[in-house]
A and B are shown apart, each in its own frame.
Chain A
Amino acid sequence: MTTPASTVQARDLTMTFGRTRALDGVSFELVPGVTGLLGPNGAGKTTLLRVLATVSAPDAGSVLTLGLDPRRTDQRLDLRGRLGYMPQEPGFHAHFTAFEFVDYVAILKELHQRRARHEEVRRVLELVGLDAVRRKKIKALSGGMRRRVALAQALLGDPDLLILDEPTAGLDPEQRLRFRELVGQLGEGRTVLLSTHQTEDVVALCQQVMMLHLGKLRFTGTPLELAGLAQGHVWHSHKRDPGALGAWRTGTGQHRNIGNPPAGADLLEPTLEDGYLLLLGGDQFEEVAA
């Protein structure tokens, strides 16, 4: 059964590229708020986001977004008018200024009335803090600023669903902080799905988290629940514990171990990252996720 508040309902999404199964029977629901999509490289995150953004079609399965079925042409076009999409590697017409580029995408989004469109372009550029450089050519902007231009175009038309593919990749800590502030605000009253490698982003921003690994959805829940998976599986020791699934030396000189602890181990409070690493760790921990 679906909850009335869900904005995306995906059922058994499957997609293959040659021998690679990028999505393997993925089902989930999204509700308003910020949901983080975690997973290592090649997990299928970008493929899933492209399906939700109506850029790609799955081989099998269905998705209902904002009550619309993207398989139907009229509903797909309607849906495209209500979603904002920031690809992982957004391309730019580099000879355009930031204003001209966002204006161009606004036209692709069929905002044709000139003055209203320009007002909207100014609004989104101001929202991402690029008002001062709107007349600069894209090729003259830094990588961080370009990502903000890409975010600005996704915000055009105040979309009900915002799909962001690794929006914080390549940003310095200060830029990432600003990004979090902005995305946090955007998540109030709309659905935001963002993929990331950064567990700190999920902790800072997300009310919900999904984890994808090798095309399968391995976890859905709250960040607290993901961290809770590692309860009783994180301990510290003076030396790397050979029985640990993974371990690293922390700043205190102690080793933080993840896995099945030995008897009498000095257990630690787990973080979301511990839960994530544990899920990635191996088949022996699958029962933990179940």
Chain B
Amino acid sequence: MGGVDAAGAWHADGEVLGAYSDGRLDAAGRWSVEAHLTSCAACRLQARALVDPARLRRLRAALIEAVDVPRAGVVERLLVRLGVADHTVRVLAATPALRGSWLLAVATTLAFAVLAAWVSRGADATMWLLCVAPLLPLAGIAVAYGPGIDPTYEIGLAAPLGSFRLLLLRAATVLGTSTLLAAAASLMLPRLGWGAAGWLLPSLGLTACSLALATTIEPLRAFGITAGAWVVAVAVTVAPPPPSSVLFSAAGQVAFATLALLAAVVMMVRRGRFEADRGFDTTPRFAARRLR
């Protein structure tokens, strides 16, 4: 293990220090050597010469990484636990729909819809929730990306990450959170049944339709148009008494599922156009929509 020098001081031998430097010692051996190194300058000097600088840099980086990374928020930690990549989680964390104030606003809106259902308790009890729920993801995504909305929009344009990918990531986050909250609201309705989930396919269809439209016009305008179309459709089709709408019938649900699929195809086909529109593109059609 070691030997004694002329002055009577004990020193670790080179083989032990080499094994320590390479990380080949077991825990007990490491602790023994480290306890000795704290009090022996000669052995410290010898060990320093034996350590591979690249390994030392790796260890230092690992140590800093372990102690210096800021603690992520609750939602971020949850998403990482669910298997979402940490870099994706960081991008999602910049989405307003993951912030408390937005979630509170959505929850409050849904609470009013549920309250209205309990107050009426009639055949129209679910109608408020069915009409309101599909609008929530549209509003959330509309304020998640675009010039004047995303504070880092300009910095993002000068970065290589695709703009459409960023929009899709944020759209998925908004859709996910608003769907979870709307599902919870559905469970609180006075009458449970499949009819209470009638908002789900319209929600998916309208969101996909807005994203497809955003490959042609500004996202904010795309979501505004889709939301307006939904409001008009509800106003025209909801017919008392008792309040019902073809939008929530079986045929309506099939139509929204089809719309979602078609819109997804359009999105995939036209996503390149969305990327080209944001940033250096000389197509005159897009000239009016650039930053100034």
Chain A positions within 8 Å of B, measured between CB atoms, are: 17, 22, 47, 50-51, 53-59, 70-71, 73, 76-78, 80-81, 83, 85, 87, 90-97, 99-100, 103-105, 107-110, 112, 114-115, 117-119, 122, 134-135, 153
Contacts and interface: CB of A to CB of B under 8 A. Distances in A.
B280 interface: yes
Given A53-B158, A80-B160, A107 B70 contact: no
A70 B153 contact: no
A55 B87 contact: no
Contacts of A57: 279-282, 287, 290
Contact of B94 (A55, A87, A93, A118): A93
Given A99-B70, A105-B152, A80 B159 contact: yes
A47 B272 CA distance: 25
Contacts of B45: none
A121 to B, nearest CB: 10
Contacts of A22: 292
A56 B160 contact: no
B291 interface: yes
Contacts, number: 124
Given A50-B291, A90-B152, 13 more contacts: A53-B157, A56-B279, A57-B281, A57-B287, A87-B154, A90-B155, A91-B154, A99-B70, A104-B90, A107-B91, A108-B155, A119-B61, A134-B70
Interface in B44-88: 61-62, 64-65, 68-70, 85-87
B141 to A, nearest CB: 17
17 contacts: A54-B157, A54-B158, A55-B157, A55-B280, A57-B281, A59-B282, A71-B282, A78-B160, A80-B159, A90-B152, A93-B94, A96-B94, A100-B93, A109-B161, A110-B161, A114-B87, A115-B61
Contacts of B85: 112
A95 B62 CA distance: 27
B252 interface: no
